[in-house]
């Protein structure tokens, strides 16, 4: 029987088969969280991949204190200055024609709104997303999520199709040299989609870097080819930059590397730097067509002033401190450190990613089952926590040997080096 101090005694377990992390967190500051019993954990996940400015950033704290005493929440039809300012400033960070913003709370909610808009504008209902996607747990977002959560809940929304993932480390379609042939894979993927479609394709919803899917960076050229596939079929391209947007990959937006402008862009997580804030951004043309058709997405906290004020402060800090460039510098330091570890630890099979969104994949010994990588990842995660580092493995069967590493953009060189050192010690302790 559980005692009254165990989290499981009163809390619903919501992460599939995953357990709560050990210890009760008392406070957080900068790149660290602190438990009630006084332990410090270096936070290499930025909370839920969100706290890009670290924890308790003084400017965020000051904004919340001031704004909550001035104007926190309004009737959904009212407009406040923080909302207007944030919409205008987000448009200024984006290429044309992205200039219209809808401010919401979570990534799932924003993806829901984006899909609803795409269906209304195109007149279609069918949605394409990656076979290892994660877009949220609300109805349409969950139906476009294939990495987890599909079994046992009954039928998903009709008309959802999975596209194969262009995973260069574990390619399923290869060229003559054994490398990923993503063009042929993409062609075959859409051949299958066309065969199943009832002629009502509406949207393709993807991440530029699949995070929960194993930190898979789309190959250069892939996003442009995907856009062309979509537009040939009258579909809208929706990019979910919940974890990649706002400087984490070394650019303000991950799509900038490929010069591809989506029809609809979804931001969340990083926009609020840990507070619940999301945005759907699109062109004036798409917004006008949606409006003419009676677009409806009326929520309790749409365009709320308090989180919008926080979003403005996030943009202030990102711009002033040039955190896009800082993410590149720290990302290079992190990847170099991890590659040095790979030389000493043969269980490290791959180091990948962009900026401060980095994946590290462990591989079991030759002939071992993929489940052995899951066990190894779990053991290394536990040992890291014991040594003072919070790490996150992909919580999917067969992918539990892949770490998602995303420290705050405000981390110091020393904190990156300390985290790599702790990971190395954990690997040594677990593998002997």
Q: Convert the pLDDT of each residue in 207-234 to its tens digit.
A: 999 999 999 999 999 999 999 999 999 9
User: Would you state the pLDDT for residue 7?
Assistant: 86
Reference 309, options 74, 63, 87; nearest CA is 63
Q: How confident is the model at residue 396 (pLDDT cuts 50, 70, 90)?
A: low
CA distance 277 to 270: 8
Catalytic residue among 116, 132, 248, 269: 269
404 part of the active site: yes
How large is the average pLDDT for residues 32-47?
97
pLDDT value at 394 more than 90: no
Which position has the token pair 């401190």?
321
User: Quick check: 112 and 136 in contact, CB under 8 A?
Assistant: yes
Entry pTM? 0.96
pLDDT value at 395 more than 70: no
pLDDT value at 182 more than 70: yes
- Residue that wins the pLDDT comparison between 36 and 395: 36
How large is the average pLDDT for residues 394-423?
90
Q: How confident is the model at residue 365 (pLDDT cuts 50, 70, 90)?
A: confident
240 part of the active site: yes
Rounded to 5 degrees, φ, ψ at 109 are -65, -40
419-432 pLDDT per residue, tens = 999 999 999 999 98
How large is the average pLDDT for residues 112-140?
97
pLDDT value at 367 more than 70: no
User: Would you state the pLDDT for residue 372?
Assistant: 85
269 part of the active site: yes
CA distance 405 to 215: 9
pLDDT value at 366 more than 70: no
How large is the average pLDDT for residues 27-42?
97
User: Quick check: 395 and 148 in contact, CB under 8 A?
Assistant: yes
CA distance 169 to 165: 11
User: Would you state the pLDDT for residue 368?
Assistant: 60
How large is the average pLDDT for residues 329-352?
97
243 part of the active site: yes
Catalytic residue among 134, 287, 304, 326: 134
Catalytic residue among 182, 243, 350, 352: 243
User: Would you state the pLDDT for residue 301?
Assistant: 97
300-332 pLDDT per residue, tens = 999 999 999 999 999 999 999 999 999 999 999
Q: How far from chain centre, in Å, is Cα 303?
A: 22
Q: How confident is the model at residue 413 (pLDDT cuts 50, 70, 90)?
A: very high
Which of the listed CATH numbers 3.90.1150.10, 1.10.3720.10, 3.40.50.720, 3.40.640.10 matches domain 71-320? 3.40.640.10
How large is the average pLDDT for residues 245-258?
98
Catalytic residue among 240, 241, 324, 350: 240
How large is the average pLDDT for residues 238-262?
98
How large is the average pLDDT for residues 9-25?
84
pLDDT value at 256 more than 80: yes
Max CA separation in the chain (angstroms)? 65
Give 155: exposed, middle or buried? Use CB within 10 Å, 0-12, 13-18, 19+. Answer: exposed
CA angle 238, 244, 249 (to 5 degrees): 135
User: Would you state the pLDDT for residue 22?
Assistant: 84
At the top level of CATH, which class does the domain 7-56+323-431 belong to?
alpha beta
For residues 64-78, one letter each, b for 16 or more C-beta atoms within 10 angstroms of the residue's C-beta and e for the rest, the string is beebeeebeebeeee
Percent of the chain with pLDDT over 70: 96
How large is the average pLDDT for residues 74-92?
97
Residue extents of the structural domains in the chain:
7-56+323-431, 71-320
User: Would you state the pLDDT for residue 401?
Assistant: 87
How large is the average pLDDT for residues 83-90?
98
Q: How confident is the model at residue 398 (pLDDT cuts 50, 70, 90)?
A: low
Q: How confident is the model at residue 16 (pLDDT cuts 50, 70, 90)?
A: confident
CA distance 243 to 213: 12
Q: How confident is the model at residue 21 (pLDDT cuts 50, 70, 90)?
A: confident
User: Would you state the pLDDT for residue 5?
Assistant: 74
pLDDT value at 363 more than 60: yes
pLDDT value at 1 more than 70: no
How large is the average pLDDT for residues 258-266?
98
Among the ranges given (88-92, 154-158, 412-416), the one the predictor scored with the smallest mean pLDDT: 154-158
Rounded to 5 degrees, φ, ψ at 310 are -65, -40
């Amino acid at each position: 029987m559980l005692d009254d101090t165990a989290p499981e005694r009163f809390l619903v377990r919501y992460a599939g088969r995953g357990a709560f992390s050990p210890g009760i967190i008392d406070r957080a500051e900068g790149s660290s969280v602190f438990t009630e019993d006084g332990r410090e954990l270096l936070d290499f996940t930025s909370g839920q991949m969100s706290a890009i400015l670290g924890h308790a950033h003084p400017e965020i704290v000051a904004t919340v204190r001031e704004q909550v005493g001035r104007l926190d929440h309004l009737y959904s039809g009212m407009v406040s200055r923080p909302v207007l300012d944030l919409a205008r400033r987000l448009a200024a960070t984006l290429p044309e024609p992205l200039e219209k913003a809808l401010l919401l709370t979570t990534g799932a909610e924003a993806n829901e709104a984006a899909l609803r808009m795409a269906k209304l504008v195109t007149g279609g209902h069918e949605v394409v997303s990656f076979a290892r996607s994660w877009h949220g747990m609300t109805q349409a977002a969950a139906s476009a999520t294939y990495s987890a959560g599909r079994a046992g809940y009954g039928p998903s929304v009709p008309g959802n199709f999975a596209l194969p993932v262009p995973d260069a480390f574990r390619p399923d379609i290869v060229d003559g040299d054994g490398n990923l042939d993503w063009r042929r894979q993409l062609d075959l993927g859409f051949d299958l989609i066309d065969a199943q479609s009832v002629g009502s394709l509406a949207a393709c919803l993807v991440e530029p870097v699949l995070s929960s899917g194993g930190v898979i960076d789309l190959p250069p050229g892939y996003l442009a080819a995907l856009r062309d596939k979509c537009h040939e079929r009258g579909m809208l391209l929706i990019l979910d930059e919940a974890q990649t947007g706002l400087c984490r990959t070394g650019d303000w937006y991950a799509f900038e590397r490929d010069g591809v402008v989506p029809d609809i862009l979804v931001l969340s997580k990083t926009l609020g730097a840990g507070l619940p804030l999301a945005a759907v951004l699109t062109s004036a043309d798409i917004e006008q067509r949606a409006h003419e058709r009676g677009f409806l997405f009326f929520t309790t906290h749409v365009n709320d002033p308090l989180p919008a004020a926080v979003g403005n402060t996030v943009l202030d800090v990102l711009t002033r401190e040039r955190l896009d460039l800082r993410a590149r510098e720290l990302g290079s330091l992190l990847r170099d450190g991890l590659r040095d570890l790979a030389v000493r630890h043969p269980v490290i099979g791959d180091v990948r990613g962009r900026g401060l969104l980095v994946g590290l994949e462990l591989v079991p010994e030759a002939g071992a089952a993929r489940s052995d990588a899951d066990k190894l990842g779990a053991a290394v995660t536990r040992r890291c926590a014991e040594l003072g580092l919070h790490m996150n493995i992909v919580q999917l069967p067969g992918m539990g040997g892949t770490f998602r590493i995303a420290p705050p953009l405000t981390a110091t060189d020393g904190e990156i080096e300390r985290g790599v050192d702790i990971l190395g010690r954990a690997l040594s302790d677990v593998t002997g």
